[in-house]
Homo-oligomer: A and B are copies of this chain.
Amino acid sequence: MKNICFEHIKIDDGFWKVKQDMVKNSTLYAVYDRFMDTHRFDALSCTWKEGEPDMPHIFWDSDVAKWIEGASYLLMEKRDERIEAIIDDAVDKIVSNSDENGYFNSHFLVTEKDKRFKIRSNHELYCAGHLMEAAVAYNKATGKDKFLKAMCRFADYIDKVFRKEKSAEFITPGHPEIELALVRLYDATGEKRYLELSKYFIDEHGMGKDDACSSYDFANNLYNQDEMPLRERSTAEGHAVRALYLYCGMADIAARYNDKELLEACKRVFEDMVNKKMYISGGLGSTYLGETFTVPYHLPNRTAYAETCAAIAMALFCKRMQMIDVNSKYADAAERVIYNGFLSGVSMDGKSFFYENPLEIDTKFNDVNNSTNTKERFPITQRVEVFECSCCPPNIVRFIPSIADLMYSFDDETVYVHQYINSQTEYDNIHISQTTAYPADGKIKITCSAPQKQIALRIPSWCSDFKINADYTVKNGYAYIAINGSREIELELNMPVVCVKANKRVHENAGRIAVMRGPVLYCAEGVDNGEDLAGIAVDISSEFKQEENDFILPSLSVCAYREKDSDMLYSKAGDDYEKFTLKLIPYYAFANRGETEMVVWFLRK
């Protein structure tokens, strides 16, 4: 099965148009300005000297690369001289400072020069992978091939050192990314050696040969994705972003080599994530300690790590899985991610970012350790414009412009519609138009022309009641409809507000419900609802009303209950509740109005 790439899909109205415009007009420049302030672009010049401030960091190249990749996606829609000048300048620096082997890394070329390919945990191949992805994107956007050629040389050098000569001091990268990047380089160039190198890394990871290699003191085999060969995996472990980039590579190799064993491992880790380790927001990674997955059903809300990059990587993994295993669960998971735990990573104005995306903010108890200099750690409560570790902001710059990548795949018989986004698509002889306000409502008008194919529409798992103005049969979560060349279809997904509970094994959410409408999770903030949100109780049979706001999708209001105030610390429990009108906003929009309490999970009345 093939994907229809986002460059063939024009999102011309609705929810994601707003977000794509935000990236184009705001986020792209906001991130660029911060990267200039912090000398991330300057670092490409490789002029830094020992003793100077702002030593190029081991992962700075990846930050710049992701920005170039995102900028390139915008250039695909419309060329822009200023942006191209920035990228051309960066490419010139990368190419002119690459060594005779094609090697480039703005950290290892100017400091730790003797450490090249010696420290597994130091993001060297991760940076290389992102540079390759950027080069592919820039080539596709502009036709310029200087960057792409340089990255092919770099890839050839990596192939030589790692696969042919095995002269590096580690075998597989500490931070995966190059695996999927090499597949992309293969797709762009047709050079099979890149695919083979990716497969080599996938084959070798977890074989126990890298044990002696350097890593962080706090890290163990699970953190490093070393616990067992990838084909034997059945659970998602370790650093969440590293795990998910690796799973993307696994899925790519499974698809390209028709590797059933690898595919089954991909399916198992997917199931483990969505059934036992995923926040209702789609967030992944339950702890800041190592930024890792933890144990099944351990989903603390206040200290959720749920990194924005993990959300993006999960969407990228789902995109790959929906092409090789026809089941709506992959697009369901991607949808949960993109409307919630991914999108919460960026402010409404597109200029500030969360690295961690908690599901609860309890401002009163964020500075509890008044008697010690050592403090309990909680995520920040406000998005910030710049992070020292700034992987998430440029990842947003590349992900939102390419969001339509998640929408369609096709094989000889069927065009699959995975996501509902108002858009026009033309790819070969496939023409699809979606007219919809989704997810503001569940009505989607789809016009599809695709000779010799049927169309398959995903029925989202959140939807228990839908209508299609055509005959259909449902299989694996998709409604298959004959289109006989061309057809206009009306799909109506009934989208009431639903109170959702978590599995009883999630002790954190015992007795609590979350409010969703379609794929969109809601939350309550202190700025709307006062203090002590933890005690708010909602009757699950309540009627919710929609209200306009500044957050694209409407707010909800509902009659709810909260405990009356008291001076007693402990007292006899009675019927001490008062009614009030609870206001809910989309979760992705939390923390846009100053520091305030926030909860996702409410008590049940």
Contacts of A365 in B (CB 8 A): 295, 298, 507
Q: List A residues at the B interface (Cβ < 8 Å).
A: 217-220, 222-223, 237-239, 274-276, 278, 280, 286-287, 289-290, 292-295, 297-298, 362, 364-365, 367-376, 464, 498-508, 510-511, 513-514, 531-532, 534-535, 537, 540, 562-574, 576, 603-604
A290 (CB) vs chain B CBs: closest residue = B372
Q: Are A373 and B604 in contact (CB under 8 A)?
A: no
A574: B residues at CB distance < 8 A: 540
A168 vs B540: C-alpha distance in the bound complex, in angstroms? Answer: 67
Closest A-B pairs by Cβ, 7 of them: A507-B534, A290-B372, A292-B371, A510-B535, A504-B563, A511-B603, A510-B534
- List of B residues within 8 angstroms of A374 by Cβ: 218, 289-290
A419 to B565, CA, bound (A): 31
Point out the residues of chain B lying under 8 angstroms from A506, CB to CB.
569
Instruction: For the complex formed, measure the closest distance between the CB of A242 and the CB atoms of chain B, giving whole angstroms.
Output: 10
Decide: B513 and A573 in contact? CB cutoff 8 A. yes
Q: Is the CB of B369 within 8 A of A289?
A: yes
Q: A223-B372, A514-B570 are in contact. List 6 more A-B contacts (CB 8 A).
A: A219-B372, A289-B376, A295-B367, A504-B535, A504-B562, A505-B531
CA distance A514 to B572 in the complex (A): 9
Q: Is the interface of A mostly helix, strand, loop or mixed?
A: loop
Shortest CB-to-CB span from A334 to chain B, Å, is: 15
Contacting residues, chain B, for A295 (C-beta < 8 A): 364-365, 367-368, 370
Q: How many copies does the complex hold?
A: 2
For residue A290, which residues in chain B have a CB less than 8 angstroms away from its CB? Answer: 369, 371-372, 374
Complex alpha-carbon distance, A532 and B508, angstroms: 10
| Interface contact A502-B218, CB-CB below 8 Å | no
A-B contact pairs, 20 of them (CB 8 A): A219-B371, A219-B373, A222-B371, A223-B371, A238-B371, A275-B569, A289-B374, A290-B372, A290-B374, A498-B572, A501-B563, A501-B576, A502-B569, A503-B567, A503-B569, A504-B566, A510-B534, A511-B511, A511-B535, A511-B603
- Docked Cα-Cα span, A532 to B499, in Å, equals 21
Interface centre among A292, A295, A367 (most CB of B within 10 A): A295
CB distance from A556 to the nearest CB of B (A): 16
Contacts of A567 in B (CB 8 A): 275, 503
CB-CB under 8 A from A298, the residues of chain B are 365, 368
Asked whether, in the complex, the Cβ of A371 is within 8 Å of the Cβ of B504, the reply is no
Q: How far apart are A271's CB and chain B's nearest CB, in angstroms?
A: 10
Chain B residues, Cβ within 8 Å of A238: 371
* Cβ distance A290 to chain B, nearest Cβ, rounded Å: 4
Residue in A237, A274, A364 with the greatest tally of chain B CB atoms within 10 Å: A364
**A101 CB → nearest B CB, Å:** 35
By beta carbon, the residue of chain B nearest A572 is: B498
In the complex, chain B residues whose CB is within 8 Å of the CB of A286:
368
**Which residues from chain B contact A297 at a C-beta distance below 8 Å?**
364
Does B294 contact A370, Cβ atoms closer than 8 Å? yes
Residues of B within 8 A of A239 (CB): 371
From B220, B276, B364, B572, give the contact of A371 (CB < 8 A): B220
Residue from A280, A367, A563 whose CB has the most chain B CB atoms within 10 Å: A563
Residue from A222, A362, A500, A507 with most neighbouring chain B CB atoms (10 Å): A507
A563 to B564, CA, bound (A): 27
Which of B276, B280, B570 makes the CB contact (< 8 A) with A500? Answer: B570
Give the docked Cα–Cα distance between A218 and B370 (Å): 11
Given contacts A275-B569, A286-B368, A368-B298, contact A220 B373 (CB under 8 A): yes
